[in-house]
Structure 1
Amino acid sequence: MNVKKCFHLVKAVLVIVMIGFTGCERDINLLEPAEYPTNPDIFIDGFSGGLDYQAFLNTKLDAITIDTDDKYAGESSLRITVPSEGDPSGFFSGGAFVAPGARDLSGYDALTFWAKASMVAPLGLVGFGNDNSGSSLYPASRSDITLTTAWQKFVVPIPDAGRLAAEKGMFQYSVGAFEKAGFYVWFDEVQFEKLGTVAQPRAVITSDVVSGEVGETISVGVTGVIYNVGGADVTVNAAPAYFTFVSSDESVARVGADGTITGVSVGSAEITVRLGSVEVADRITVNVLTPAPRPTTPAPAPTADPADVISMFSNAYTNVPIDTWDTNWLFSTAELQDIQVAGDDVKKYTELNFVGIEFATQTIDASDMTHFHLDIWTPNPTAAPAVFKVLLIDFGPNGVFDGGDDSQHELTFTSPLLATESWVSLDIPLADFTGLTSRAHLAQLVLSGDLSTVYVDNVYFRRGGGGTSTEPTEAAPAPTQPAANVVSLFSNAYTNVPVDTWSAEWDNADVADLQVAGDDTKLYTNLVFAGIEFTTQTVDASAMSHFHLDIWTPNSTAAPAIFKIKLVDFGADGAFGGGDDVEHELTLDATTTPAIASESWVGLDIPLADFTGLTTTGHLAQLIISGDLSTLYVDNIYFYTSGGGTGTEPATPAPTPTFAAGDVISLFSNPYSNVTVDTWSADWDNADVADVQVSG
Structure 2
Amino acid sequence: MKNLYLFFVALLSLGISNAQTIITFEDNTIIADSDLVVGPNSDEVSIVVDPTDATNKVLKITHSTDEWWDNHGGFTIPYNQNGATGGTVTFDIWTDHSASVDAGTFGYMIKFENNQDNPGNNIENSFLVDGAGSWQSVTLDISDCANKAPAGNCSGQEHSASTFSKILFFHWGGSNPSSPTPDTLYIDNITYQNGDMLIAPAADAEPTTAAPTPTHGAADVMSVYSFHYAPSVPVTNVNPGWGQATQTSFETINGESIVKMKTLNYQGHDLTETDVSSMTHLHADVWSENGGETLAIFPLDGSQPEPRSGPIALQAGWNQVDIELATLPVGTFGGTIKQFKFSNDLNSGANLPLIYVSNLYFYADSTASVDKIQGFEISLYPNPATDIVNINTSTSVDHVRLYDLTGRVVMEANPNKENFNLDVTGLSKGVYLVKLNAGKKKATTKLIK
Based on CA coordinates, which of the two structures has the bigger radius of gyration?
Answer: 1
**TM-score normalized by the length of structure 2:** 0.45
> Given the two structures, how large is their TM-score scaled by the length of structure 1?
0.31
Higher relative contact order (CA 8 A, sep 6+): 2
Bigger share in strand: 2
